[in-house]
Amino acid sequence: MTILRAKQIREMKTEDIDAKLFELRLELTKELGNVKMGRPVKNPGKIGELKRTIARLLTIKHEKKKLVKK
């Protein structure tokens, strides 16, 4: 998982953002599943970073949608 910054996301196409969202949500689901099963967490900050990156992607996606409507 790489950390995506806002500048990098803004350069992406909407289709690429959707694909990345799917990938990150799948990864987050796997990490949360491991926690629920009681497996030890290798990197505790990874879940928070995944959530922040997903939120960042959604925010910029909605910004782009608003710009297209205007």
In 3-state terms the chain splits into helix, strand, coil percentages (rounded to 5) of 75, 0, 25
Instruction: Give the pLDDT score at 17.
Output: 96
Instruction: Give the pLDDT score at 39.
Output: 92
Label residue 23 by pLDDT band (50, 70, 90). very high
For each of the domains in the chain, give its residue range(s) and CATH number, in order of start: 6-69 (1.10.287.310)
Residue 1 has pLDDT above 70, yes or no: no
Instruction: Give the pLDDT score at 70.
Output: 67
Pairwise CA distance, residues 40 & 7, whole Å: 34
Residue 47 has pLDDT above 70, yes or no: yes
